[in-house]
Amino acid sequence: EAQVTQNPRYLITVTGKKLTVTCSQNMNHEYMSWYRQDPGLGLRQIYYSMNVEVTDKGDVPEGYKVSRKEKRNFPLILESPSPNQTSLYFCASSFSAPPGIGQYFGPGTRLTVT
């Protein structure tokens, strides 16, 4: 089954404790992206990757890091989480850059930073 998986689905952590949210897709997609969703603000792109070893900043990259060492995986790293990073996070992938085709979204990771 074609899918994007994220782990963990729920996470409660404390300020400053490094964490990683994993994202994996099994569709051999080139383009992968991370979004955060906040009430009233919609979906905002954090980082995206056009292919292996190619990453770029989205709209709200501050406080986040990503890596793309393999085509299928695109982890999101919060080196020192802060309460303003409490949000619902979605990973997404598409065959090529979004103009070419729609994105598949993962189920989401709800992160709370206290």
Partner 1 sequence: GQQVMQIPQYQHVQEGEDFTTYCNSSTTLSNIQWYKQRPGGHPVFLIQLVKSGEVKKQKRLTFQFGEAKKNSSLHITATQTTDVGTYFCAGPMNRDDKIIFGKGTRLHILP
Question: Which of 54-63's residues contact partners 24+ apart within 8 Å by CB, and which partners?
Answer: 58/33, 58/34, 60/36
Name which of residues 49 to 78 contact partner 1 (CB under 8 A).
50, 56, 58-59
Q: How far is the CB of 100 from partner 1 (least distance, A)?
A: 9
The span from the CA of 8 to the CA of 21, in Å, is 6
The span from the CA of 16 to the CA of 14, in Å, is 6
Q: Residue 103's closest CA among 111, 113, 93? A: 93
Tokens of 9: 């689905």
Q: How far is the CB of 83 from partner 1 (least distance, A)?
A: 22
Using the minimum distance from each CB to partner 1, give the nearer residue, 82 or 91. Answer: 91
Neighbouring CB atoms inside 10 A of 31's CB total 22
Using the minimum distance from each CB to partner 1, give the nearer residue, 16 or 66. Answer: 66
Q: How far is the CB of 59 from partner 1 (least distance, A)?
A: 7
Q: How far is the CB of 64 from partner 1 (least distance, A)?
A: 15
- Interacting residues toward partner 1 by CB under 8 A: 31, 33, 35, 40-45, 48, 50, 56, 58-59, 90, 92, 97-99, 101-108
